[in-house]
Structure 1
Amino acid sequence: MTGTRHAQVVVIGGGQSGLAAGYHLRRLGLDFIILDAQPEPGGAWQHAWDSLRLFSPAAFSSLPGRPMPVQTGQAYPDAAHVVGYLTEYERRYDLPVHRPVRVTGVHRDGGLLRVETDSSIWRAESVISATGTWWRPFLPAVPGREDFRGRQLHTAEYRGSRDFVDQRVVVVGGGNSGAQIAADLAYDTELTWVTQRPPRFLPDDIDGRALFDVATARRRALDEGRTDTGGVASLGDIVAVPPVREARDAGLLKASPMFATLDRDRVVWADGTRAAADAVIWCTGFRPALSHLAPLGLRGPRGRIATEGTRAVAEPRLHLLGYGDWTGPASATLIGVGRPARDAAGEVAALLDAGT
């Protein structure tokens, strides 16, 4: 391990949130570095399944300062297009990304924060954590999951339908990932799609831009003490991107209620109904990847850190960016992360000015 280095700001995570933070830090003239655990640019997008589509057209899926180019032949860009966009974005703004560097812990160190990694130690006046959720998949405690002899994998491990041709596949989850993966598998497998409640498709003309506007309006209402509008959840759970719409309209996306248990080679419902299964794909979401912040002792209920905007309440030198609505409306999306990134960078600059 090399010696201790210094930067005004250390950004942890080189995906979309870290790059958006870097853009605004660069505009403010701050001294910063971005530490990314991945060996290549693109964040979690480089690990997504082949058929994944954004919820919005390219024009409404951009980071600050640089519109995403249209992908030829695709109204809704795929993951590979996003990786290319993030790679070019990083290069265009000459963002100082160090990779692969895995952060192992953030510690208080007098008036600074000490960021320990697998290759070096950084001391900083402020830290922006932008590690996202992809690296911490959630698996529910379903009875019999350990007894199932078939293949089990999470959304994060799914790559494409080619791995399951002619197999009996159970997809669990009624959100966007569950619907997109079920649609991907509907043509080449014996598919069983199960959801906790009947799937709620948003109107076909609703995409990510509208969802961002709804999420922003909800946050504004809550901040002003007005009635909770319900936000995106009031509209539905699934954006009908073209592959989902096509499978749905073809009658291939028919959801069953959630099963009660798993057996050696099947899923079993409470009424005794059974369905044989070669594989179960758990599209059951993610949790914030915050283990590197454990030394600060900030985590509260549901594993979250209390924040005001993006700033940690109990540690004003720390900002959290891109983990969901609790760190900014729609901040886990490409279009949504720009505003909280700008706010976080502005607050960091103000903190540094106050300390000089």
Structure 2
Amino acid sequence: MEHVPLVIVGAGQAGLAAAHAANRRRVRPLVLEAADRPGGSWPHYYDSLTLFSPARFAALPGRPMPGDGNRYPSRDDVAAYLSDYASRLDADLRCGHRVTGVGTEDGAFTLTTADGSRVRTDAVVAATGSFGRPHRPDLPGLTEFGGAVPHSAEYRAPEAFAGQRVVVVGGGNSGVQIATELARVARVSLATRSPVAWVPQRPLGRDVHWWATRSGLDTAPLGHLWRGRATPVLDDGRHQSAFATGNPDQRAMFARLHATGVEWSDGTTEEVDTVLLATGYRPDLGFLHGTGALDGDGRPRHRAGVSTTVPGLGYVGLEFQRTFGSATLRGVGRDARHVLRRLLRGRGSR
């Protein structure tokens, strides 16, 4: 059986940042990626997605995002950047290798892939993100509803919804962006449990990420304080202006679904064609089941990205892993350095 010093599971932004951090410690990792190319979830997001941060604040370690640092890169810009970044790493990158299980024995790990191949290693970094595990809440009446209930992970463009009555569930950035885009071709409501937490994109003429960096808030280990709170929705004014027209509109979360639509919180009912779930994701770590690494909800037991139950196991790319930006392009590099420093103790950096 092949034996390597480090296996990184996933070749998205988190996995690539982890590979870079390993290189800095003179380790050439094996990176196992389920898809046929590196880049993680980026090639699969909706067509119009643009980053919420300027290019200068959206780069992985060692290579700036090309082009104007003040622009907001598109989905395809990021996918191309990650592909180029992967090609420059000193890593054994194997695409089309989905990890299906991890075993532990004698202080080492054995990873099994979907094709039955196995590899043994001293350390594992789980960097699979969450796109593969979209969260679908158990909404009242969901099984009765006869319309479509796609998740935002399946959404690509608005044309398929032309002329429909659509309710988007979820008040984060994606929910707001998708609702605004759908309103060009459909009648749309955004249903949320709390008001949208609008944050100006460029207060006093500077992007909010510039302020967060200058103040030190972006790197402060305070991410856990935000867990469970409303997600800030960054806006340059376009989305709030769209909501001011009444289409889309924002409403309190509906009471329940019925066969042909929704019952709103005030008791009124309305026919609806589609309920689109912009309800986020959960860590996609099913391959770790049975190792003791996860709690009953499938969430990793860790401290700042280092497993508290399985020695030699680390994570990169978890939401609020250490800071507010832990699951972002600008944040995964910092977390990767922290985790690899602990997993590869005794290996010098360069």
- Assess if the C-alpha contact under 8 Å between 2:192 and 2:250 holds in 1: yes
| Residue 109 of structure 1: aligned partner | 105
Q: Secondary structure at the match of 2:110?
A: strand
Percent of aligned positions that are identical = 36
Say whether 1:173 aligns with 2:176: no
Equivalent position of 2:333 in the other structure: 338
The answer to whether the Cα contact below 8 Å between 2:142 and 2:257 also exists between their aligned partners in 1 is yes
Residue 45 of structure 1 pairs with residue 42 of structure 2: yes
Q: CA deviation at 1:40?
A: 1.8
CA shift in 2, pair 1:284/1:126, >3 Å: same
Could you list the runs of 5+ residues in structure 2 that have no partner in the other structure? none
Q: Which residue in 2 is equivalent to 1:196?
A: 193
- What RMSD, in angstroms, separates the aligned Cα atoms of the two structures? 2.4
Correspondence for 2:220: 217
What do residues 114-155 of structure 1 show as CA deviations (whole Å, max 9, x unaligned)?
A: 111123111000000001111111111112111211111001
Q: Which residue of 2 aligns with 1:282?
A: 277
- Normalised TM-score (structure 1): 0.88
Unpaired segments of 5 or more residues in structure 1? 223-227
Q: Which residue of 2 aligns with 1:138?
A: 135
Normalized per residue, which structure has more helix? 1
User: What's the CA shift string for 1:61-119, capped at 9, x where partnerless?
Assistant: 000001112379x9321111110010011112253210111101111021211111123
CA distance in 2 between partners of 1:37 and 1:242 (Å): 39
Tell me how far apart the structure 1 counterparts of residues 340 and 221 of structure 2 sit (CA, whole Å): 23
Alpha-carbon shift at residue 31 of structure 1 (Å): 3.2
* Cα contact 2:292–2:310 (8 A) shared by 1: no
SS of equivalent to 2:335: helix
What is the one-letter code of the residue matched to 1:136?
R
**SS where residue 251 of structure 2 aligns?**
strand
Q: Which amino acid aligns with 2:222?
A: R
Q: Deviations over 1:249-276 (max 9, x none)?
A: 6554430000011112211123321222
Structure 2 vs 1, CA of residues 327 and 114 (structure 1 numbering), >3 Å: closer, same or farther? farther
Measured in 2, the distance between the counterparts of 1:150 and 1:334 equals 36
Residue 307 (structure 1) aligned with residue 310 (structure 2): no
Distance 1:50 1:207, change over 3 A: farther
Distance 1:172 1:54, change over 3 A: same
Residue 86 (structure 2) aligned to one of 87, 90, 112: 90
Structure-2 change in CA distance of 1:265 and 1:33 (3 Å): same
Kindly tell me the number of residue pairs found equivalent between the two proteins.
341
| Contact 2:28/2:91 (8 A) holds in 1 | no
Secondary structure class of the residue paired with 1:163: helix
Shift of 1:196: 0.8
The letter of the residue matching 1:100 is G
TM-superposed CA distance for 1:202, in Å, is: 0.7
- Per-residue displacement from partner, 1:187-226 (whole Å, max 9, x unpaired)? 1111111111111111232545555753533529x8xxxx
Change (3 A) 1:183 1:45: same
- 1:263 to 1:269, Cα distance in 2 relative to 1, 3 A: same
Compared CA separation, residues 340 and 163, structure 1 to 2 (3 A) = same
Aligned counterpart in structure 2 of residue 99 of structure 1, from 95, 99, 102: 95
Which residue in the other structure is 2:29 paired with?
Answer: 32
Whole-angstrom distance in 2 between the partners of 1:38 and 1:248:
37
Verify the 8 A CA contact 2:221 2:323 in the aligned structure 1. Answer: no
Secondary structure at the aligned position of 1:287 is classed as coil
Structure 2 CA distance for partners of 1:183 and 1:98, relative to 1, 3 Å = same
Q: 1:315 to 1:218 in 2, by over 3 A?
A: closer
Query: Do the aligned residues in 2 keep the contact of 1:138 with 1:285 (CA within 8 Å)?
Result: yes
